[in-house]
Chain A
Amino acid sequence: MPTVSVKRDLLFQALGRTYTDEEFDELCFEFGLELDEITSEKEIISKEQGNVKAAGASDVVLYKIDVPANRYDLLCLEGLVRGLQVFKERIKAPVYKRVMPDGKIQKLIITEETAKIRPFAVAAVLRNIKFTKDRYDSFIELQEKLHQNICRKRALVAIGTHDLDTLSGPFTYTAKRPSDIKFKPLNKTKEYTACELMNIYKTDNHLKHYLHIIENKPLYPVIYDSNGVVLSMPPIINGDHSRITVNTRNIFIECTGTDFTKAKIVLDIIVTMFSEYCENQFTVEAAEVVFPNGKSYTFPELAYRKEMVRADLINKKVGIRETPENLAKLLTRMYLKSEVIGDGNQIEIEIPPTRADIIHACDIVEDAAIAYGYNNIQMTLPKTYTIANQFPLNKLTELLRYDMAAAGFTEVLTFALCSQEDIADKLGLDISATKAVHISNPKTAEFQVARTTLLPGLLKTIAANRKMPLPLKLFEISDIVIKDSNTDVGAKNYRHLCAVYYNKNPGFEIIHGLLDRIMQLLDVPPGEDKGGYVIKASEGKTDEPNPELVTVSGGGYTLFFMKLVILIWDFRKKGR
């Protein structure tokens, strides 16, 4: 869940009133936000780097607010304020308009070289904008939040914002060999080739995370103006030439990416949020994007979509009884301008370009429920009549667990993931013989494979509890995983029972006795001739469906363990 950090006083000023921390927390809760932390820059620095470093930092109170991952329109102060003000019916939702420029429209031409690396681009212009330091910071911060969330760390979409007055269109979005790209990037004093930049940014804590997106591609994406000035090399860095400042008045915004839908959403969000500060509030100047096939499109889309939902559907899904008029009012408070039409039961809802999260009637139902107040909904019990059944394997497991404890053994709970060493080398087995499933991306060696036997977990438990008085009598009943090409995913769980007896004296008869007890409980007689159980020395095979007893010696102690594979036939036959 993204966290947005806003200055409290600035927020209250924009909301037109102040709240106590508790009141604001309550408002957030109701609206589906979470006031995660109340802090200040000073506090953050002092927590991370100590009091000395924090000395000069600002102690302006910051609210850190958790925003639902699909509400890109709430990722900045401007959006939060607009959302909350509409929710509290203090303002009407603004209408965003795309306008044609007085002069020539800004053009971005995509060449076909981009097709293989980053094929999509959209653009727009914010005309006559007025920044302050706080607005500017918010503008930069919103781009960062979008990059981290919907843009999937710039992999799907990357945003570039430029001072249009330093550039001259039309612009060209193309892809070139890295050695052929040379420009002065943001915050550098001289020009570098793209190859050099990729090397420099390897040590840049912020940018190094994005390099992999284009690093091994033969061509890098790049945007030029008509004079050959580099606007940006997406998704890595912008050019220094067109950098925006607090004083910038006209902004050219380009979003490039691999996901066209998301690029359009990102552009819509930026322009709807910050057109508030344009001379003509909430208007955005169109830009034309020409695709390699010659087709040209105008952006931003700023599309308003109409949806029709019946009032009784909303009432039925939420479990309330509100009039259509009231429901339309509730929805309007959620930034979805709605009115009752037709037979008086039909609600027409206008989905604004800021609400890309509304893709189905169920999303509209949820917003009606939020505005109604989740905690105002009458709780009722469904009349669903059902007879409960236990999963037979779990039922047997539960029965055995209690009897194992009654037999004096203590239950342990160990991880299902472990290292290759744990299930192979340490048990004298070859890893290929274990038929284990292997994890491709573990962060540590502790999670290389799923266990093929419960034994390593029990042994580790003993190792960690050597201070405890002897004997240690432990057991676990849980699942192990074995590759199996007969299942749809190619692997299968087996339920195992494993028990260990750890003492200074050998105690084979103790673990043997436990096995006899289990068999007695399962009503399996001893002796092969009676169709019962026999004990055989193990050759270290883990998927053997027979109970097996093995001795492991070492460290002066003798340790006996028993492993029992619980098979489906056990409980089916017994019908327990």
Chain B
Amino acid sequence: MAMHSPDSGSGGSGPGQDTLSTLEAAMADGPVAELLLRRLEASDGGLDSAELAAELGMEHQAVVGAVKSLQALGEVIEAELRSTKRWELTAEGEEIAREGSHEARVFRSIPPEGLAQSELMRLPSGKVGFSKAMSNKWIRVDKSAADGPRVFRVVDSMEDEVQRRLQLVQGGQAEKLGEKERSELRKRKLLAEVTLKTYWVSKGSAFSTSISKQETELSPEMISSGSWRDRPFKPYNFLAHGVLPDSGHLHPLLKVRSQFRQIFLEMGFTEMPTDNFIESSFWNFDALFQPQQHPARDQHDTFFLRDPAEALQLPMDYVQRVKRTHSQGGYGSQGYKYTWKLDEARKNLLRTHTTSASARALYRLAQKKPFTPVKYFSIDRVFRNETLDATHLAEFHQIEGVVADHGLTLGHLMGVLREFFTKLGITQLRFKPAYNPYTEPSMEVFSYHQGLKKWVEVGNSGVFRPEMLLPMGLPENVSVIAWGLSLERPHRRLRDMGQSRTAHPP
């Protein structure tokens, strides 16, 4: 849900609305403009748009609209923009001026016999009011009360300074408050300094009270009667924004997913099935020659399942080969020399990478004789046991590419990566030695980021270890090269930094 970006929603606020309000104002300002001109004629030198609005009892914006439409007529009036600052209460500020501060409301709601803290917290003002009232030393908490913490009054009465100050501002006496007091209220978002833009309007060189109204739209009647020939038309405002078309949108991240799919398909890669979020530890780790004590298999890093806790079926003769390779070695390997446990391999989890799906695909490939070379890819969700914050997601999308053929080299891997990243528009690549439990050699892929002026990691890659491939039954001279990257990361790097994660309330 947090991944949903509102910028893909239909535009309603923002520029679109400005256009609408200008249009509406222009249509409605006929009588206002007339009033304005008459007042201006009677005035001594000029008048202020805000004062006029107050006198006429209308919205200031309506007067401004009239000023603007008169300006568009040429030299009828002259208008000078003036700005003044003043303090206003926010919606919350007005509520407090009316009903008292949160802390005062909390204080008042506590009866002499005290109130359970849990109950107090449920009050609308509970959370904010409680901490403020505590720091004002109006109330205290008795944590030893029988039915949970209980809150009591400390003082008999109190002065609601916050309310008093806000009422002052409301009465137009903001200047009576000190700078410090105002800024404190502003920090609590009760007070805001607003800038009022007004016009000082005076007569122009071509001043007249009688103006002919300009047409804003060409109607079918005007065309049929031919009246359009004699009518003055208001010029189009090309500076305003147009009205956005009504349409649905695809999610930006999933658009990038489509682009990646397209690239893989263009390169001749076949899509692997990845529609199993739940995976056994066996396919997620053991089959990849990732030892059972590996930190990634820790409860802190991986979501394990309570139900269904264990995988029901595993390919047992393959499992035996994997077990032997881990615990004793074989296929030219020393192995990890530890006691491999089937129970550990049976533990179900939410897959931590889509490499588990690649392992399944390669195992299926190994069962088909004779061996045929393949190119595979997948893009799907993976899961990590994280607490959500600005830089950590508990689920994200992994992109993975795999090539299996006789005699593949590290140079081949780099060549495929170059083509892949070139299609993404990333041409400056370099490779750093790295460690992955299931690839050897392994290389991290870095690309030069023009904006950041440094090399940034864009992916991870390597040649799958023989200890992973040979127990599957793949022929000895077949190499499998693979690489992976996250969909979210290049998305962010390819766009401007910080664009991809639009924060949403949980």
Using a CB–CB distance below 8 Å, which chain A residues touch chain B?
Answer: 1, 29, 31-32, 34, 68-71, 149, 152, 156, 259-262, 316-320, 359-363, 365-366, 369-370, 374-375, 377-391, 393-394, 398, 401-402, 404-417, 437-444, 446-447, 450, 457, 460-461, 464-465, 467-469, 472-473, 475, 479, 481, 483, 485, 487-493, 495
With contact pairs A360-B334, A443-B385 given, residues A390 and B271 touching in the complex (Cβ less than 8 Å) = yes
B381 at the interface (CB under 8 A from A): yes
B124 at the interface (CB under 8 A from A): no
CB distance from A390 to the nearest CB of B (A): 5
- A369 x B337 contact (CB < 8 A): no
Question: Which chain B positions have C-beta within 8 A of A468?
Answer: 6, 9-10, 12-13
Question: Which chain B positions have C-beta within 8 A of A450?
Answer: 277-278, 350
Complex Cα distance A481/B264, Å?
Answer: 27
Question: Which chain A positions have C-beta within 8 A of B276?
Answer: 487, 489, 491-493
Residue of B nearest to A395 (CB): B271
- A438 x B431 contact (CB < 8 A): no
- B506 x A375 contact (CB < 8 A): no
Contact of A381 among B250, B253, B373, B419 (CB under 8 A): B419
- B250 x A405 contact (CB < 8 A): yes
Question: Which chain A positions have C-beta within 8 A of B270?
Answer: 386-390
With contact pairs A32-B432, A317-B409, A378-B411 given, residues A437 and B305 touching in the complex (Cβ less than 8 Å) = yes
With contact pairs A408-B248, A488-B280 given, residues A380 and B388 touching in the complex (Cβ less than 8 Å) = no
Contact of A363 among B264, B305, B440 (CB under 8 A): B440
Question: Which chain B positions have C-beta within 8 A of A440?
Answer: 303-306, 309
Question: Which chain A positions have C-beta within 8 A of B9?
Answer: 410, 465, 468, 472
- A441 x B304 contact (CB < 8 A): yes
- A316 x B433 contact (CB < 8 A): no
Q: How many residues of B contact A (CB 8 A)?
A: 105
B258 at the interface (CB under 8 A from A): yes
- B409 x A489 contact (CB < 8 A): no
> In chain B, residues 396-423, which have Cβ atoms closer than 8 Å to a Cβ of chain A?
403, 405, 407-412, 414-416, 418-419
CB distance from A73 to the nearest CB of B (A): 13
Contact of B505 among A409, A414, A464 (CB under 8 A): A464
Query: How would residues 427 to 439 of chain B score, 1 for a CB under 8 Å from any chain A CB and 0 otherwise?
Result: 0001111110000
- B271 x A391 contact (CB < 8 A): yes
Interface-centre pick from B1, B251, B466 (highest chain A CB count, 10 A): B1
- B383 x A387 contact (CB < 8 A): no
Contact of A382 among B4, B293, B403 (CB under 8 A): B403
Residue of A nearest to B387 (CB): A443
Which 9 A-B pairs rank lowest in CB-CB distance, beginning with the nearest?
A319-B411, A319-B409, A32-B433, A469-B12, A490-B308, A68-B435, A366-B441, A440-B306, A359-B334
- A457 x B311 contact (CB < 8 A): no
CB distance from B164 to the nearest CB of A (A): 33
> In chain B, residues 295-340, which have Cβ atoms closer than 8 Å to a Cβ of chain A?
295, 299, 303-314, 329, 331-338
- A414 x B280 contact (CB < 8 A): no
B243 at the interface (CB under 8 A from A): no
Residue of A nearest to B315 (CB): A488
CB distance from B144 to the nearest CB of A (A): 22
With contact pairs A386-B268, A388-B268 given, residues A32 and B415 touching in the complex (Cβ less than 8 Å) = no
Q: Show 10 residue pairs from A and B whose CB-CB distance is below 8 angstroms, ordered by the A residue.
A: A68-B434, A378-B411, A384-B403, A408-B246, A446-B506, A464-B504, A464-B505, A469-B13, A488-B314, A490-B310
Contact of A412 among B247, B251, B419 (CB under 8 A): B251
Question: Which chain A positions have C-beta within 8 A of B310?
Answer: 490
- A/B pair count, beta carbons within 8 Å: 304
- A464 x B1 contact (CB < 8 A): yes
Question: Which chain B positions have C-beta within 8 A of A318?
Answer: 409-411, 441
B53 at the interface (CB under 8 A from A): no
Complex Cα distance A414/B10, Å?
Answer: 19
With contact pairs A415-B1, A481-B277 given, residues A359 and B335 touching in the complex (Cβ less than 8 Å) = yes
Complex Cα distance A371/B31, Å?
Answer: 85
With contact pairs A317-B409, A405-B250 given, residues A31 and B433 touching in the complex (Cβ less than 8 Å) = yes
Contact of B305 among A362, A416, A438 (CB under 8 A): A438
Complex Cα distance A260/B250, Å?
Answer: 55
- A365 x B304 contact (CB < 8 A): no
Contact of B411 among A380, A383, A388 (CB under 8 A): A380
B394 at the interface (CB under 8 A from A): yes
Residue of A nearest to B279 (CB): A489
- B432 x A374 contact (CB < 8 A): yes
Complex Cα distance A495/B274, Å?
Answer: 12
Contact of B272 among A68, A362, A391 (CB under 8 A): A391
Question: Which chain A positions have C-beta within 8 A of B409?
Answer: 316-319, 380
Complex Cα distance A377/B412, Å?
Answer: 10
- B394 x A411 contact (CB < 8 A): no
Complex Cα distance A472/B338, Å?
Answer: 57
- B466 x A360 contact (CB < 8 A): yes
CB distance from B329 to the nearest CB of A (A): 7
B275 at the interface (CB under 8 A from A): yes
Complex Cα distance A204/B441, Å?
Answer: 41
Contact of B299 among A401, A402, A413, A441 (CB under 8 A): A441
Contact of A369 among B410, B418, B466 (CB under 8 A): B410
Question: Which chain B positions have C-beta within 8 A of A442?
Answer: 303, 385
Question: Which chain B positions have C-beta within 8 A of A317?
Answer: 409-410, 441, 463, 479
CB distance from B76 to the nearest CB of A (A): 37
Residue of A nearest to B334 (CB): A359
B265 at the interface (CB under 8 A from A): yes
Complex Cα distance A58/B314, Å?
Answer: 56
B254 at the interface (CB under 8 A from A): yes
Question: Which chain A positions have C-beta within 8 A of B434?
Answer: 32, 68
Complex Cα distance A259/B337, Å?
Answer: 9
Question: Which chain A positions have C-beta within 8 A of B348?
Answer: 489-491
With contact pairs A416-B277, A481-B278, A489-B311 given, residues A447 and B394 touching in the complex (Cβ less than 8 Å) = yes
Contact of B410 among A71, A319, A409, A447 (CB under 8 A): A319
Question: Which chain B positions have C-beta within 8 A of A408?
Answer: 246-248
Given contacts A417-B303, A447-B385, 6 further A-B contacts (CB under 8 A): A369-B410, A388-B271, A398-B261, A407-B248, A410-B9, A417-B350
Complex Cα distance A447/B435, Å?
Answer: 30
With contact pairs A394-B271, A415-B395, A417-B395 given, residues A375 and B430 touching in the complex (Cβ less than 8 Å) = yes
CB distance from B107 to the nearest CB of A (A): 32
Complex Cα distance A464/B502, Å?
Answer: 11
CB distance from A275 to the nearest CB of B (A): 24
- B435 x A413 contact (CB < 8 A): no
Question: Which chain B positions have C-beta within 8 A of A1?
Answer: 435
Question: Which chain A positions have C-beta within 8 A of B388?
Answer: 444, 446
With contact pairs A366-B441, A411-B249, A440-B306 given, residues A489 and B395 touching in the complex (Cβ less than 8 Å) = no
B3 at the interface (CB under 8 A from A): yes
- B395 x A379 contact (CB < 8 A): no
With contact pairs A386-B268, A412-B1 given, residues A261 and B248 touching in the complex (Cβ less than 8 Å) = no
Query: How would residues 226 to 248 of chain B score, 1 for a CB under 8 Å from any chain A CB and 0 otherwise?
Result: 00000000000000000000111
Complex Cα distance A32/B432, Å?
Answer: 6
Contact of A259 among B293, B405, B433 (CB under 8 A): B293
With contact pairs A359-B334, A492-B276 given, residues A382 and B441 touching in the complex (Cβ less than 8 Å) = no
Contact of B308 among A409, A441, A489 (CB under 8 A): A489
- B373 x A384 contact (CB < 8 A): yes
- A393 x B275 contact (CB < 8 A): yes
Residue of A nearest to B265 (CB): A388
Complex Cα distance A262/B333, Å?
Answer: 17
Question: Which chain B positions have C-beta within 8 A of A370?
Answer: 433, 441
CB distance from A364 to the nearest CB of B (A): 10
Question: Which chain A positions have C-beta within 8 A of B309?
Answer: 440
Complex Cα distance A362/B436, Å?
Answer: 13
Complex Cα distance A31/B433, Å?
Answer: 7
Complex Cα distance A491/B310, Å?
Answer: 10
Complex Cα distance A316/B409, Å?
Answer: 6
- A409 x B435 contact (CB < 8 A): no
- A416 x B381 contact (CB < 8 A): yes
Contact of A388 among B246, B275, B375, B435 (CB under 8 A): B375
